[in-house]
Chain A
């Protein structure tokens, strides 16, 4: 993968691009994680 990188521009484009994709994936995953973590709380509040 890194053999195709020749300039700082290419390096930044690749690494920043991957970070942005990871960040989007993480934010989407965090919504699921938040719902998993707090799911039972809401049900208990409704019952209570």
Chain B
């Protein structure tokens, strides 16, 4: 029994189910309003502020925080760090659901969502960086689906198809790294188009590099954060390998994230020097920039390093949450807070409560699907029929 996950019956009317059910009901009502009344019925978006929290939070933060999939798969499959093997399936699942939620949220944000396939089928627009982002996200979502599919196929008992997909693991991992490198940086490259709208402290020709490097830190931190939540709420679904390797994963990923944040801090300072924007540090936006840089980049970098050195797993877990928050703040700064910074206050964007409601609905759907999958499929445990395969 020590090797098998325990089976715990969960009541249908649990606190989680009731709260999630209520959020989904409200979300469905908001969805009806959005698709019958248009964008204006549920959002504060206008021509000055066409991108709100659905892009700033759901898309940009979602893509960055879903980067755990390619970072973990690359560490294990390409760099052969097999001691992190137990983290691959949860990270791939988080990445797959993260990207699915991104596309789901995009259906609300795009004025005519039924035209989403147009860039592929009707008018490619290959000179647009957004085409590259769209193409990469679509392809990477397909790659993540294929990387995740062995889990579902093991659950369904489809041994032959699973065997074919498993043989593609290395190819899919390499494709995932290539596509992620492309679109994580391209999301930053989109903002190269708006040098007059984005505050100079956040605007830089290095924006694509900033986005890519910070996505690695976001992905590693998200794996640690998601792992700690899973250990708290789904411990009964975990086998011995997952329970035993948990601390090694936290320490290893914490060490990696510390080095990535150190590099990210350096290139951000180089970006500041490249624009010769030192004089702006004394302004209000400058202070906010310092909060982001010192409080949400340098501080977690040092806390991770101390946590790894002292083998303090709890400190690393809290630092992971802090880093995730820092990445969210960084993306919101670029898309919302420091965007259109020269406009008068009454013309600035603030999300409508229904926009926030739809974002909460999208995240809740993601959590419910995650919970459905991990309580049924072999994410935190080895399927008995495939123990030798790993």
Contact = CB atoms under 8 A, between A and B. Distances in A.
Given A1-B279, A2-B279, A39-B309, A30 B270 contact: no
Interface string A1-24: 110010000010011001100110
Given A14-B276, A33-B305, 4 more contacts: A23-B270, A26-B269, A33-B262, A37-B309
Interface in B94-121: none
A19 B279 CA distance: 16
12 contacts: A1-B278, A2-B276, A11-B276, A19-B270, A22-B266, A23-B266, A26-B269, A30-B262, A37-B255, A37-B305, A37-B308, A40-B311
Pick the 6 closest A-B CB pairs, nearest first: A18-B273, A26-B266, A19-B273, A15-B276, A37-B305, A40-B309
Interface residues of B, number: 18
Given A1-B278, A2-B279, A36 B273 contact: no
B350 to A, nearest CB: 34
Interface of B: 255, 258-259, 262, 266, 269-270, 273-276, 278-279, 305, 308-311
B388 to A, nearest CB: 30
A45 to B, nearest CB: 14
A30 B273 CA distance: 19
A40 B63 CA distance: 35
Interface of A: 1-2, 5, 11, 14-15, 18-19, 22-23, 26, 30, 33, 36-37, 39-40
Contacts of A14: 276
A1 B266 CA distance: 22
B276 A36 contact: no
Majority-rule SS of B interface residues? helix
B270 A37 contact: no
Contact of B258 (A15, A37, A40): A37
A40 B312 CA distance: 13
B270 A22 contact: yes
Given A1-B279, A15-B276, A19-B274, A37 B259 contact: yes
A28 B345 CA distance: 44
A21 B249 CA distance: 36
B373 to A, nearest CB: 35
Contacts of B258: 37
Nearest to B305: A37
Contacts of A36: 305, 309
Among A11, A23, A26, A40, find the residue whose CB has the most chain B CB atoms closer than 10 A.
Answer: A26
Q: Chain B CB within 10 Å — which of A2, A5, A18 has the most? A: A18
Contacts of B273: 15, 18-19, 22
B89 to A, nearest CB: 27
Nearest to B310: A40
Contacts of B278: 1
B120 to A, nearest CB: 40
A14 B255 CA distance: 35
Of the listed residues B255, B266, B273, B279, the one surrounded by the most CB atoms of chain A closer than 10 A to its CB is B273
- Between A2, A15, A23, the greatest number of chain B beta carbons within 10 A of the residue's beta carbon is seen for A15
A14 B276 CA distance: 8
B309 A15 contact: no
A39 B258 CA distance: 14
B96 to A, nearest CB: 32
B305 A22 contact: no
Contacts of A2: 276, 279
Contact of A15 (B255, B262, B274, B310): B274
B304 to A, nearest CB: 9
A37 B270 CA distance: 23
A47 to B, nearest CB: 14
B205 to A, nearest CB: 12
